[in-house]
Amino acid sequence: MDYKIIADSSADLLTLDGAEFESVPLKILTKDKEYVDDASLDVSGMIYDLSKYKGTSKTSCPNVGDWKSSFGEHEGVFCVTITSNLSGSYNSACLAVEDYMSENPDKKGYVIDTLSTGPEAVLIIEKLQELISSHLNFDEIKNKIIEYKKKTHLIFSLESLRNLANNGRVNHAVAKIAGLLGIRMVGKASDVGTLEITNKSRGEDRALSDIFKNMLGSGYEGGKVRIHHCKNSSAAERLSNMIREKFQKAVVFVQETRGLCSFYAESGGLLVGFEGGLK
Ligand code: X90
């Protein structure tokens, strides 16, 4: 079937081999500059600029028109968005799909609110790709992805929550603790798609072992893992090794965050998406 997958750029994914796929960018904005989170963004350059920048910075999500213009001529579209609890992206995508279906009554559209971001979104996108290739019809794919999403999880470790707090996505008191030397905030995407801090881990060793413990606690038993890191490939590789030491067959992918997740996860941040037990 001719179905297209469209994700916002919070998934950190620009292309998807063998699928009709498009990424719709969010934007990172300072008073001086706008960074569009697409393939042309120099993420390292943006991180560097922001580390020198003293003013306020914020982000904006794709609007209805941005989503709509990505749909193209297909029998149906699946949109995958960052958590609706922290962004308007889901809402825009829903309005875009509503318009698209009323203008094209023969076409189908469905929006998946990941209640998460980054690596967990990619797990969902890759599952969608697999379901589309197995020639299921639209509603079967929709039902199966709803089921799959109950088993995907996101755990993070953040060294700074400054941009999250400055933009009202976590409270300032929590962010202050993360500012203390050597403390990493380990937590998870909650069931309602917000940040839930589970550990205040001192030092990287502790943070990595807390992440792994929490993965086991969420029913991880050797399924697929994706680690997205912001300027922290060494910690990502260490975690990947810890996982593969215990689960030899585990498939673990490591990649860098793109613009949106780099802005909020900040340098040192790790986002870990994995298949685990039922949420
Ligand atoms: O609409 C917008 O401007 C985008 C706002 C996004 C705000 C949150 C981004 C979080 C990015 C941080 C750690 C993991 C969070 C878990 C999500 C529930 C990554």
Report the nearest-CA residue for atom 12 of ligand 1.
265
CA 252 to centroid of ligand 1, rounded, Å: 23
Q: What percent of the chain has pLDDT over 90?
A: 95
Going across the sheet that includes 21-24, the strands are: 21-24, 3-8, 76-81, 108-113
- Mean pLDDT score, 43-67: 97
Pocket of ligand 1 (CB under 6 A): 26, 59-61, 82-83, 86-89, 116-117, 154, 156, 169, 189, 193-195, 261, 264-265, 271
Q: What rounded mean pLDDT belongs to the chain?
A: 97
CA 262 to centroid of ligand 1, rounded, Å: 10
Report the nearest-CA residue for atom 7 of ligand 1.
86
| Residues 128-160: tens digit of each pLDDT | 999 999 999 999 999 999 999 999 999 999 999
CA 213 to centroid of ligand 1, rounded, Å: 23
Q: Is the pLDDT of residue 206 over 80?
A: yes
Q: Is the pLDDT of residue 1 over 80?
A: no
Written as six digits, the tokens of 191 are: 């069931």
Phi, psi of 219 (to 5 degrees): 85, 20
CA 98 to centroid of ligand 1, rounded, Å: 25
CA 86 to centroid of ligand 1, rounded, Å: 6
- Mean pLDDT score, 41-47: 98
| Residues 214-244: tens digit of each pLDDT | 999 999 999 999 999 999 999 999 999 999 9
Q: How confident is the model at residue 204 (pLDDT cuts 50, 70, 90)?
A: very high
Residue predicted with more confidence, 107 or 178: 107
Q: Which atom from ligand 1 is nearest to the alpha carbon of 115?
A: 18
Contact 207, 100 (CB under 8 A): no
Q: Which residue has the tokens 């203390």?
A: 180
Q: Give the span between the Cα atoms of 144 and 150, in whole angstroms.
A: 10
Q: How many residues does the chain have?
A: 279
Dihedral Cα 94, 99, 102, 104, nearest 10 deg: -110
- Mean pLDDT score, 234-255: 98
| Residues 87-129: tens digit of each pLDDT | 999 999 999 999 999 999 999 999 999 999 999 999 999 999 9
Mutate to test the pocket of ligand 1, among 28, 63, 64, 87 (most ligand atoms within 8 A of CB): 87
CA 121 to centroid of ligand 1, rounded, Å: 12
What pLDDT does 100 receive? 97
Q: Is the pLDDT of residue 170 over 80?
A: yes
- Mean pLDDT score, 37-65: 97
Contact 256, 227 (CB under 8 A): no
Q: Which residue has the tokens 């079937």?
A: 1
What pLDDT does 178 receive? 82
What pLDDT does 155 receive? 99
CA 72 to centroid of ligand 1, rounded, Å: 27
